Amino acid sequence: MRTALPALLLIALAACTKSEVPADPAEQARAAVAEAEAHYQASWEAGHAWRATKALIDDARAALELGDYETAASSADRATAMAEASLAQAEAESTAWRDRFPFSS
């Protein structure tokens, strides 16, 4: 499997920049989208990207384009949460799959 390390570093970076919260809603929305993208990238590299995460990021980008920063930020935050769930799945499955095959009835 591919290593998720570079992407995890990106997430750590995104998390750091988040602590100095920008007041500008446009900046905030952009930061939220960047964070969601980094999380999605990490889930992709772990082989566990979810399509719904991508769809939310697309929504967020479209809203950003239209200047709807509130929608952009909320879609991006949901995408981040979803990518975290998919990374948790990758983590759990890294060992759990071994108990599944071969099956007995």
Partner 1 sequence: MVRTTILGAGLLLLGSVSLVSAPLASETSDTNSGIDPQADRQALRDFYTQRFPDVPLEEHKNGVYAFDEGAREQWLEMEDFPPYEIAVDDGAELYETPFADGKGYPDCFGDGAVKGRYPHYDEVRSEVVTLEMAINDCRADHGEAPLAYDGAEITRLTAYMAYVSRGQIIDVALPEGEGPLAAYEAGKRFYSTRRGQLNFACSSCHVQLAGNRLRAERLSASLGQVTHWPVYRFKWQDVGSLHLRFNECNSQVGAEPFPPQSEEYRNLEYFLSYMSNGLALNGPASRK
Residue 19 near partner 1 by CB under 8 A: no
**Smallest distance, Å, CB 39 to partner 1?**
13
Nearest residue (CB) to partner 1, 44 versus 69: 44
**Smallest distance, Å, CB 43 to partner 1?**
8
Token pair recorded at residue 39: 């999380």
Secondary structure letter of residue 23 according to DSSP:
S
Token pair recorded at residue 98: 């071994």
**Smallest distance, Å, CB 41 to partner 1?**
12
Residue 82 near partner 1 by CB under 8 A: yes
* 9: number of Cβ within 10 Å: 12
Using CB under 8 A as the binding criterion, the count of chain residues that bind partner 1 stands at 23
Angstrom distance (rounded) from CA 39 to CA 52: 13
**Smallest distance, Å, CB 74 to partner 1?**
19
Q: Is 64 exposed, middle or buried (0-12, 13-18, 19+ CB in 10 A)?
A: buried
- Positions that interact with partner 1 (CB under 8 A): 44, 47-52, 54, 82, 85-86, 89, 93, 96-105
